[in-house]
């Protein structure tokens, strides 16, 4: 279930963030140009090198803010179209993220210090189902990307070779290729961006890492961002609450209780969230 976070007026919030990102991009571009000029005027090679490196940093930051602006603007446009009819569910911010990655299906997961999954945001039902499988089975691209802090990918038969449980299960969803990149900043990994069935040759490019950097710097870890992605994020808090209750009932470690919940959800082909709701309502007792 979505958290319902974000601004009460998501369109206004998206437009505000887009304008702010464009202003920051323009400021960083101006700074890059200033350092380019200083590099031309430098009297030593050392000074010239310093200014050229500073220019490159500002230019990279400008590109990041510009990409963020485009994501927010695209989301605002989709919201405007939806507001005219509202015959379909409200658009998701992750839909634009997936499009930026050259696919229709992408998911973002945030993790804790021990790489346990704290939340999930998905662009569509296929990517949501794929991430739920990874959560239940305890293996998959996002888990490897976060725990190993590097990009991972697999296609075709390599899916089952790399992840014996997840691979065959995700193939049954109609997915033939996955790629995941960590969300990193200052040496810390806070999650992963997973892309499903991207356009040919994109998995070998830097586009996924670039989009992940935009999300990390402008949405996840930025004070002006929105880690809940305009209310499109599902928190795992309820699942961990149910694991705590089950732990007390069965007198077992919370980690073991969580695995029981996952196993029950996988066996019933449902979500861990659904099983947890039944446990907390007193309708289901594991053991």
Q: Is 121 exposed, middle or buried (0-12, 13-18, 19+ CB in 10 A)?
A: buried
pLDDT digits (tens, 9 = 90+) for 58-71: 999 999 999 999 99
pLDDT digits (tens, 9 = 90+) for 224-281: 888 889 988 888 888 888 889 999 988 888 888 888 998 998 888 888 888 988 999 8
Residue 25: the pLDDT is: 97
Residue 76: the pLDDT is: 96
pLDDT digits (tens, 9 = 90+) for 69-117: 999 999 999 999 998 877 788 899 999 999 999 999 999 999 877 677 7
Phi-psi region of 138 (alpha: psi -120 to 50; beta: other; left: phi over 0): left
Tell me the pLDDT of the chain averaged across its residues. Answer: 90
pLDDT digits (tens, 9 = 90+) for 182-216: 998 777 899 999 999 988 777 667 899 999 999 99
Residue 225: the pLDDT is: 87
Say if CB 272 and CB 134 are below 8 A apart.
Answer: no
Coil/strand/helix, residue 47: helix
Say if CB 9 and CB 49 are below 8 A apart.
Answer: no
pLDDT digits (tens, 9 = 90+) for 115-174: 777 889 999 999 999 999 999 999 999 999 999 999 999 999 999 999 999 999 999 999
pLDDT digits (tens, 9 = 90+) for 158-182: 999 999 999 999 999 999 999 999 9
Say if CB 217 and CB 190 are below 8 A apart.
Answer: no
Residue 3: which pLDDT band, with cuts at 50, 70 and 90? very low
Say if CB 260 and CB 286 are below 8 A apart.
Answer: yes
Class of the domain covering 93-235: alpha beta
Sequence-ordered list of residues with C-beta below 8 angstroms from that of 247, at least 6 positions apart, any chain: 253, 254, 256, 257
Sequence spans of domains, the chain: 10-85, 93-235, 237-280
Residue 203: the pLDDT is: 67
Residue 66: the pLDDT is: 96
């Amino acid at each position: 279930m979505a958290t319902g976070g974000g601004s009460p007026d998501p369109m206004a919030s998206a437009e505000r963030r887009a304008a702010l990102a464009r202003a920051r991009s323009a400021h960083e571009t101006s700074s890059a140009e200033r350092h380019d000029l200083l590099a031309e005027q430098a009297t030593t090679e050392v000074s010239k090198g310093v200014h050229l490196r500073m220019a490159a940093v500002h230019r990279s930051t400008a590109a990041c803010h510009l990409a963020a602006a485009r994501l927010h603007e695209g989301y605002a446009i989709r919201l405007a179209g939806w507001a005219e009819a509202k015959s379909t569910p409200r658009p998701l911010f992750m839909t634009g993220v997936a499009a930026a990655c050259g696919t229709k299906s992408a998911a973002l997961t945030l993790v804790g210090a021990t790489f346990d999954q704290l939340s999930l945001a998905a662009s569509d039902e296929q990517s949501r189902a794929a991430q739920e499988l990874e959560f239940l089975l305890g293996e998959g691209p996002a888990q490897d990307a976060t725990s190993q802090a590097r990009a991972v990918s697999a296609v075709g038969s390599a899916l089952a070779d790399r992840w014996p449980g997840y691979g065959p299960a995700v193939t049954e969803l109609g997915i033939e290729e996955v790629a995941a990149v960590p969300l990193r900043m200052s040496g810390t990994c806070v999650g992963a961006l997973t892309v499903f069935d991207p356009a040919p040759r994109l998995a070998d490019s830097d586009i996924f890492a670039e989009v992940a950097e935009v999300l990390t710097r402008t949405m996840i870890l930025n004070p002006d961002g929105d880690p809940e992605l305009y209310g499109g994020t599902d928190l795992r808090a309820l699942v961990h609450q149910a694991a705590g209750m089950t732990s007390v009932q069965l007198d077992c470690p919370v980690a073991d209780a969580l695995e029981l919940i996952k196993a029950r959800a996988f066996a019933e082909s449902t979500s861990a969230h659904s099983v947890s709701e039944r446990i907390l309502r007193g309708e289901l007792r594991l053991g």
